[in-house]
Structure 1
Amino acid sequence: MEFSEHIRTANVENVVLRQPFRPPTKGTLCITGHHLLFSDRESQSCQVLLLLRNIDAIEKSVENLLVYSGVFSSARRKQERFGIYLDIPGMEQCLNIAHSIEKLSSLNEVADMYPFFHRPPDTSLQDGWGLSSTQHHYHQMEPLRDRWRVSDVNRDYTVCPSYPPSALVPKTVSDETLLKAAKFRQAGRFPVLCYCHRKNGKVIMRSSQPLTGANRKRCREDELLLQAVIDGSDKGYIIDTRSSQLAQQAWMTGGGSESKSGYPGWTRLHRQMERGKALQESFIKLVEACGDQTNNMDRWLSKLENSKWLSHVQTALSTAGLLAECVERDGHSVLVNGSEGTDCALLISTLAQLIMDPGCRTLEGFLTLLEREWVQGGHPFQQRCARAAHSHTRLQQESPVFLLMLDCVWQLWRQFPLALGFSESLLVRLATEAYASDYGTFLCNSDQERCAMGVKEKTHCLFQALLKPGERELYSNLLYGSTELAIWPSVHPQSLQLWRGFFLRWNQQGRHVEEAKAEIRNMISEWGSLALRNNVFVAPPTGLMAPEGLQRLQTDETVTLFV
């Protein structure tokens, strides 16, 4: 496809750009196949480069063009909503620009997206793609060797399109058994191992719902698979991310849940978690509340409560804590499932591993965890992150499950500021990249689709880019101190906060907070450099060091301009 087919007007002079907290700027607006570029050619003081994929919607008027880029916006209109505000001379040019943006921002063909054209400096497509593999994960976990194996039953993606080619399964279970068990699970997502506790050897499995149907069908092979997990003498827990009522309703449509008689060693626990349309609408309401500039406290608190976003955060952390408690404290293996097993199951499995495993809390460990659980695990990024919160189109399969997970990780980061080896900036970067990126990591809906589209051969990997020296320094937590202990989050309402560094990062106060954070980061870097030179520990200034150790500086967090 030629991008020029959709560009009616490529350049417009004398366009006025309006951004929050800055004076209007006149310059040249350019539209390319993937970007909107604004340049102040006289002073060169204002340069804006916006990936068109970021744009959720635009509004046209006789006065101007307003471009909404959802949670990635950088300007506002009438003190209420956020967007890039452009005054374009001439109605025809305004309509042409609007048409071009609408077409180019909603291209659905993966091969037409910018990651296939992005070529960062000092990087080669021959460098490889990704951080880990199923085989590498297996060899890193010594407790697995005796009872588990790597199966290539899905090597051609015919057993389960959303799984990677290899999976970790019990040694006593044959590939023939796996084939039959997969037919009993929705979309073929049979139970696979995603985590093994390094001390007690107990595991976390995840899968989709069993297809029991109204006749309560059973599958002997699926039952044998789960019995092999607990080895007959132990007991395990099944955490179903649906309510018991929803699970019962699923029987009428061919789904269901594991029966007590068929899985005698397993106890089923129901923890309802919202997903799909309900979660997306909550996200939309939250962004709307964050864009309300009326300064009315009652209105703000009411909108925040009505969004129910923090309730979703609380539920996710609480369920992940339950999962971690079953494995860490009670010493039992757990199977996590729901309907498809591509959303909430991945969410709580990721959080539980962060709670229990110190290896997942380093910068590289966290990125590897995300790659294993979300990218390789089959989260449909292209469907869930097709549009953010300002889209005017009808909701289809959008749902901010990945964003919810990052919010929960931020809550952990805030409650345990020394226990995680990455910074808040990394979480913000990942949240923005999931919706629009220069890299191919979050393209497509599964590993099979990425292979079919040549994503691993023709695009660059975001996670590898984040681990390069310059990026690593930016996204590392300089106060990080490794601990072998589990970090148990508080889920009391008073302990949970709005992620201001993401949802309120366009507010005016955010600029000052970012300046303060940068200064603090420079101070810590200088202390570290001085300590290395002198081979001594250099204590930070009074106020940053409490008797118990380093404490996080409390500020009114919010953020940077991102356009």
Structure 2
Amino acid sequence: MPESPYTDAMEFSEHIKTGNVEDVVLRRPFHQPTKGTLCVTGHHLIFSDRDGHNSQPFLLLIRNIDAIDKSVENLLGYSKLFSSTGPSQRFDISVTPCVPSASSGTITLKCKDLCVLQLDIPGMEECLNIASSIESLSSLETASEMYPFFHRPAGLVLQDKWGLSSTEQDYAGMKELHDRWRLSYVNRDFSVCPSYPPAVIVPHSIDDETLLKVAKFRQGGRFPVLCYHHEKNGMVIMRSSQPLTGTNKKRCKEDELLLQAVIDGSDLGYIIDTRSPQQAQQARMTGGGFESKSNYSGWKRLNRQLERGKVLQESLIKLVEACGDSSHNVDRWLSKLENSKWLSHVQAALAAAGLLAECVERDGHSVLIHGTEGTDTTLLVSSLAQLILDPGSRTLAGFLSLLEREWVQAGHPFQQRCAHSAYSHTRLRHEAPVFVLLLDCVWQLGRQFPLAMGFSEPLLLRLAKEVYASDYGTFLCNSDQERCATGLKERTHCLFQSLLRPSERDLYSNPLFEPTELAIWPCVQPQSLQLWKGLFLRWTDDALHLKEAQEAIQNLVVECRRTLYDYIENIEDRELK
């Protein structure tokens, strides 16, 4: 039986001041205002339609809530309720003389999937209690307290294998590499690199003792490891973090030896640094740095600056603000869109990925890519380059395996980067929408090559929502080490496995998919890039009509294909008879 959202309320009772309120009015996009009962559980808000127009209650995962705005009337006698309010929360409070029996309040919930909901609650005390409960429950930070540890979907059991593949399985499928590359378990207990998986693929001639020394020379222990092998010419893509050369220009002969082993027998390799030359130079002042020409003579360094961290998060905030502009002034909207610089980030990411793919496919050279930590823009560019080069990564299963390998296993700190989305009032800490930027870039690829991708836009939209708030454990924690420590793989279900179930495949597959063995080279000119309306304008009326049209087209194509398959089967049956 699937876990009921009501069953977790007792465990979180200390956070819930008011559990049920009657006569609440829910206002949400694409629906008429509805009156009913609101229930607060440990992980969900559950709204039941009083008139019974909707047979299923409306469920909202509390972790999906990014910000809460409160507006209450008749605060006389209730001022003490605000004494414990924290400075990080913002309140929109209007005071209107009225009798207590007519008191009411409104809570506006701004969600991480960019949806905005409104709850009109009779009774100010109930309103404030509900808001306080939501604030407390939405700020839980311990992974094991989150809903994936309680979710038990029908058709899946915890004993199922967690994930789609492993480093060992990936290596087993690269038989042509086995003479020059090997599996290393130097990080089996995560002591060498906390953000790497237990097994990695490294040059055969480099032993584990050498890897230990290289790890100390790379930030966070992220020494160069193989992430992609190009079957056409045998070249590889590796990724790492920055070298710790510092102001004294320290050397690590073991690091130089490892990189030389990668290009052994070749004349040149490329290092793509996702920082500007100035940023790389400045990194030396704090102990970081870059590979010098004199010590890495077989490698040529290329810089392609990609923004990260606070800059990227603020860009998302400005973009969402522009998309929510209700002034209907086109010039103002376009100005806000340009000032957000979001499409500039999309352009830069695709251009860097195109450069990497060009080095491998057209120039025939192996590439090492890194930025500072190697957990953000490094993964962004390596993933996009593989989509450009590798036909297998463009299937539904291949794309999900790519995300698992290059993001989940490779140590992207999901829980830190996706703690908040575009509406939060809290001060930025580690948030950055790098994964959302990846999904946007993939959408741009799919728009430019509509037949080349085996998956459709609904999959990307689903992933954009799941990465911030999910029923599944795939995007929880910041590394494999944390997942092992919390028992996540034994106690939660895997999103990617769920998406590949037959019932889900039809929803997320591209019915027009025509596989090609050719690389797909994106155009990155500004006029070739568009705002991803399906994500950033998904709660507008225009988006609703577009979604309905897309579903109708997909159903039509699926039906046509089924008819064609039935026709072919009938012909074959006749021939056999």
TM range (shorter): over 0.9
- Alpha-carbon offset, residue 232 of structure 1: 5.1
The count of residues paired between Structure 1 and Structure 2 equals 530
Match of 1:29 in 2: 38
SS for the counterpart of 1:88 is strand
Distance 2:175 2:332 in 1: 54
C-alpha distance after superposition, 1:157-182 (max 9, x if no partner): 00000000000000000110000000
C-alpha distance after superposition, 1:351-393 (max 9, x if no partner): 0000000000000000000000000000000000001000000
Match of 1:143 in 2: 176
Counterpart contact for 1:71–1:503, Cα < 8 Å: no
- Alpha-carbon offset, residue 71 of structure 1: 4.4
Distance 1:69 1:371 in 2: 29
Match of 2:100 in 1: none
- Alpha-carbon offset, residue 66 of structure 1: 2.9
Match of 2:363 in 1: 330
Higher Cα radius of gyration: 2
Counterpart contact for 2:417–2:430, Cα < 8 Å: yes
Within the candidate set 552, 559, 565, 1:532 is matched to 565
C-alpha distance after superposition, 1:47-104 (max 9, x if no partner): 3210000001111111533333344243xxxxxxxx2111101110000000000000
Q: Which runs of 5+ in 2 are unaligned?
A: 1-9, 74-104, 571-577
Instruction: Specify the code of the residue in structure 2 equivalent to 1:60.
Output: K
Distance 1:344 1:2 in 2: 39
Match of 1:58 in 2: 68
- Alpha-carbon offset, residue 536 of structure 1: 8.4
Counterpart contact for 2:23–2:37, Cα < 8 Å: yes
Distance 1:179 1:84 in 2: 52
SS for the counterpart of 1:27 is strand
Match of 2:201 in 1: 168
The answer to whether 1:286 aligns with 2:295 is no
Instruction: Specify the code of the residue in structure 2 equivalent to 1:66.
Output: I
The answer to whether 1:399 aligns with 2:432 is yes
Structure 2-normalised TM-score? 0.90
Counterpart contact for 2:395–2:454, Cα < 8 Å: yes
Match of 1:92 in 2: 125
- Alpha-carbon offset, residue 311 of structure 1: 0.1
Instruction: Specify the code of the residue in structure 1 equivalent to 2:519.
Output: A
Distance 1:16 1:362 in 2: 43
- Alpha-carbon offset, residue 142 of structure 1: 3.0
Instruction: Specify the code of the residue in structure 2 equivalent to 1:19.
Output: R
SS for the counterpart of 2:154 is coil
Match of 1:104 in 2: 137
Pairing 1:183-198 to 2, within 5 Å after superposition: 183-198=216-231
Distance 1:533 1:201 in 2: 42
SS for the counterpart of 1:72 is coil
C-alpha distance after superposition, 1:219-275 (max 9, x if no partner): 000000000000054210000000000100111100000011110000000111000
Counterpart contact for 2:64–2:112, Cα < 8 Å: no
Counterpart contact for 1:375–1:441, Cα < 8 Å: yes
- Alpha-carbon offset, residue 515 of structure 1: 1.5
Counterpart contact for 1:36–1:49, Cα < 8 Å: yes
User: Judging changes above 3 Å, is the alpha-carbon distance between structure 1 residues 67 and 454 closer, same or farther for their aligned structure 2 residues?
Assistant: farther
Within the candidate set 90, 106, 109, 1:68 is matched to 109
Counterpart contact for 2:107–2:131, Cα < 8 Å: no
The answer to whether 1:360 aligns with 2:371 is no
Match of 1:48 in 2: 58
Instruction: Specify the code of the residue in structure 2 equivalent to 1:61.
Output: S
Distance 2:223 2:459 in 1: 32
Within the candidate set 373, 381, 399, 1:340 is matched to 373
Instruction: Specify the code of the residue in structure 1 equivalent to 2:387.
Output: L
Distance 1:19 1:463 in 2: 29
Distance 1:453 1:298 in 2: 50
The answer to whether 1:440 aligns with 2:449 is no
Counterpart contact for 1:58–1:65, Cα < 8 Å: no
Counterpart contact for 2:194–2:479, Cα < 8 Å: yes
Instruction: Specify the code of the residue in structure 2 equivalent to 1:67.
Output: T
Match of 2:160 in 1: 127
Counterpart contact for 1:68–1:390, Cα < 8 Å: no
Distance 1:475 1:357 in 2: 20
Instruction: Specify the code of the residue in structure 1 equivalent to 2:52.
Output: S
Match of 2:454 in 1: 421
Match of 2:76 in 1: none
User: Judging changes above 3 Å, is the alpha-carbon distance between structure 1 residues 233 and 40 closer, same or farther for their aligned structure 2 residues?
Assistant: closer
Distance 2:392 2:237 in 1: 16
Match of 2:20 in 1: 11
Counterpart contact for 1:141–1:198, Cα < 8 Å: no
SS for the counterpart of 2:23 is strand
C-alpha distance after superposition, 1:501-544 (max 9, x if no partner): 1111000112222221111111111111111111189xxxxxxx
Instruction: Specify the code of the residue in structure 2 equivalent to 1:38.
Output: F
C-alpha distance after superposition, 1:386-435 (max 9, x if no partner): 01000000000000000000000000000000000001000000110000
The answer to whether 1:180 aligns with 2:210 is no
Pairing 1:535-550 to 2, within 5 Å after superposition: 535=568
Q: Which runs of 5+ in 1 are unaligned?
A: 75-82, 538-563
Pairing 1:512-531 to 2, within 5 Å after superposition: 512-531=545-564
Instruction: Specify the code of the residue in structure 2 equivalent to 1:41.
Output: R
Match of 1:505 in 2: 538
SS for the counterpart of 1:92 is helix
Counterpart contact for 2:37–2:48, Cα < 8 Å: yes
Structure 1-normalised TM-score? 0.93
Distance 1:7 1:247 in 2: 49
Pairing 1:472-487 to 2, within 5 Å after superposition: 472-487=505-520
Counterpart contact for 1:170–1:228, Cα < 8 Å: yes
Distance 2:265 2:218 in 1: 22
C-alpha distance after superposition, 1:6-46 (max 9, x if no partner): 10000000011122353321111110000011111222327
Pairing 1:217-296 to 2, within 5 Å after superposition: 217-231=250-264, 233-296=266-329
Pairing 1:460-471 to 2, within 5 Å after superposition: 460-471=493-504
Give me the CA root mean square deviation.
Answer: 1.4
- Name which of structure 1's ranges 293-302 and 507-516 shifts more when overlaid on structure 2: 507-516
Distance 1:303 1:71 in 2: 21
SS for the counterpart of 1:535 is helix
SS for the counterpart of 2:25 is strand
Distance 2:152 2:296 in 1: 52
Counterpart contact for 2:318–2:340, Cα < 8 Å: yes
Distance 1:324 1:254 in 2: 30
- Name which of structure 1's ranges 134-143 and 495-504 shifts more when overlaid on structure 2: 134-143
Match of 1:20 in 2: 29
Counterpart contact for 2:396–2:454, Cα < 8 Å: yes
Distance 2:413 2:130 in 1: 31
Instruction: Specify the code of the residue in structure 1 equivalent to 2:36.
Output: G
Percent of aligned pairs with the same residue?
71
Counterpart contact for 2:29–2:117, Cα < 8 Å: no
- Alpha-carbon offset, residue 143 of structure 1: 2.8
Distance 1:114 1:372 in 2: 24
The answer to whether 1:153 aligns with 2:186 is yes
Match of 1:2 in 2: 11
Counterpart contact for 2:114–2:422, Cα < 8 Å: no
C-alpha distance after superposition, 1:408-464 (max 9, x if no partner): 000000000000000100000011000000000000000000000000000000000
